[in-house]
Structure 1
Amino acid sequence: MQNQNHKQKLLNVGFGNFVVTNRVVGIVNPTSAPMRRLREDARQEGRLVDATQGRKTRAIIITDSNHVILSAIQAETIGQRFTAEEGE
């Protein structure tokens, strides 16, 4: 159980949407066939969260709960934000 005083850090995935940083397992590029399959499987199983606001998917974020989050922000940019959050 987490300490109640522990402040959870949030990762901005675009358009006012955030993910708790310690739940992120991976930030990947969506263009490969395995990532397209991952997205489709998550959609069918109800584990997909679309945070693109109707824009093109540029990154896929995978969480420890096996949820798949789509973002319109480049994977590299989200990775830089993640690294900055971890450093604080």
Structure 2
Amino acid sequence: MSIKLINIGFGNIVSANRIIAIVSPESAPIKRTIQEARDRGMLIDATYGRRTRAVIITDSGHTILSAVQPETVAQRFINKEDLTDEG
């Protein structure tokens, strides 16, 4: 199994193999998830002070905040898999 990395903005990179979900931060359940991760010390804020536009949930229980749109992160994820399949 090779390590695939995804750029989530501002030079921050996450292992694509560990991502479970990429969601928008607008709903109340996601806001609760963010607060619970903050309380547990499992929140990683990669927004550099900008507005949170995507919340990335990993299989390790970490919650990552990104200033990049969820669609953009997902597209990078898909493009990375296409490149890996080709060669």
TM-score by length of 1: 0.91
Which is helix-richer, 1 or 2? 2
**Match of residue 49, structure 2, among 43, 54, 59:** 54
Separation (CA, whole Å) in 1 of partners of 2:31 and 2:62? 14
Separation (CA, whole Å) in 2 of partners of 1:25 and 1:86? 15
Identity among equivalent pairs (%): 55
Separation (CA, whole Å) in 2 of partners of 1:71 and 1:55? 9
1:26 and 2:46 matched: no
By how many angstroms is 1:9 displaced? Answer: 1.2
Separation (CA, whole Å) in 1 of partners of 2:17 and 2:62? 14
Separation (CA, whole Å) in 1 of partners of 2:80 and 2:8? 13
By how many angstroms is 1:86 displaced? Answer: 1.5
Q: Deviations over 1:10-66 (max 9, x none)?
A: 000000100000000000000000000000000000000000000000000000001
Aligned residues: 83
Separation (CA, whole Å) in 1 of partners of 2:68 and 2:16? 16
Q: Give the secondary-structure state (helix, strand or coil) at the position aligned to 2:60.
A: coil
By how many angstroms is 1:7 displaced? Answer: 3.5
Separation (CA, whole Å) in 2 of partners of 1:14 and 1:53? 9
Uncovered stretches (5+) of structure 2, i.e. residues with no partner: none
After TM superposition, what 4+ stretches of structure 1 lie above 3 angstroms from structure 2? none
Separation (CA, whole Å) in 1 of partners of 2:49 and 2:36? 20
**RMSD of Structure 2 on Structure 1 (CA):** 0.8
- Which residue is equivalent to 2:78? 83
Q: Give the secondary-structure state (helix, strand or coil) at the position aligned to 1:55.
A: coil
Q: Give the secondary-structure state (helix, strand or coil) at the position aligned to 2:31.
A: helix
